[in-house]
Amino acid sequence: MFDSKSHLMFAGGAGWPMQNDGLLANTYRSLDSAAGCGATFDDPMDDIINSYREIALRMSVEEAANMAREGKQISQNIEFASELVTVQYGLSVPNLAVAVVVSLIGPIATLGLFWGWWRLGRPFSMSPLEIANAFKPAAGEQHPQAEPVSIILSMANGNATADELVKEIKRGGQGMPSDPRVQYGVVAGAECLLMAVTTSQGGVVRLPRSGERL
């Protein structure tokens, strides 16, 4: 398979012709080299060894196939050693503990500032009067149609209790024909829901109508 020959001869006026016989002589002759005595060949040894390996592999496959057809054992045990490189991190427990403590100092110190946020600082109830007083409009922002309740609440203290607000409403409604009362509904002409002061005869506040947009 690898037998090859190359003949170099003198041909007079024709110079030095070269005759190659076989695969290697024709395949590995360097075309970049000069003709005649200056001709060179590349090293075919790597390809020859690879060809031997391919032949050996094909022979082993064929032999295994023959053994399988004959019912012979074709498996074998091969011992090998493998290596695996992994990254491992060391842990310093004291340094970790210090880092955790330092990290928790900030949130704990901040939480201390919010302690007691649920305390209003005075007695309070869920009375609608107290809620209305807490959300009363600022001075100069009252709705013209809600003037009665706006004026009364604007004169009341922001921390007034429900009883104090009732007294304030009574004082503010002294000019009304009957005892004043607080009613939540549609204030006449305001087109919105408000809490206003009215009397038992009504007229200032009415109930919303079906389909009315406020």
Residue-averaged pLDDT of the chain: 78
Q: Which residues pair with 6 in a beta bridge?
A: 20
Which residue would you say has higher pLDDT here, 175 or 156? 156
Q: How far is CA 159 from CA 28, 144, 156, 162, 182, in A?
A: 107, 25, 8, 10, 19
Q: How far is CA 119 from CA 122, 130, 161, in A?
A: 8, 16, 16
Domain boundaries, the chain: 5-42, 128-206
Q: How confident is the model over 5-32, as pLDDT tens digits?
A: 888 887 777 777 788 888 888 888 876 6
User: Contact, 124 vs 144, CB < 8 A?
Assistant: no
User: Contact, 169 vs 182, CB < 8 A?
Assistant: yes
Q: Which residues pair with 185 in a beta bridge?
A: 194
Measure the CA–CA gap between 10 and 26, rounded to whole angstroms: 20
Given a cut of 60, whether residue 119 has pLDDT beyond it is yes
Given a cut of 80, whether residue 169 has pLDDT beyond it is no
Closest of 4, 30, 33 to residue 19, by C-alpha: 4
Given a cut of 50, whether residue 144 has pLDDT beyond it is no
Helix (H) or strand (E) holding 107: helix 93-113
Q: How confident is the model over 37-61, as pLDDT tens digits?
A: 677 888 889 988 999 999 999 998 8
Whole-model pTM: value is: 0.33
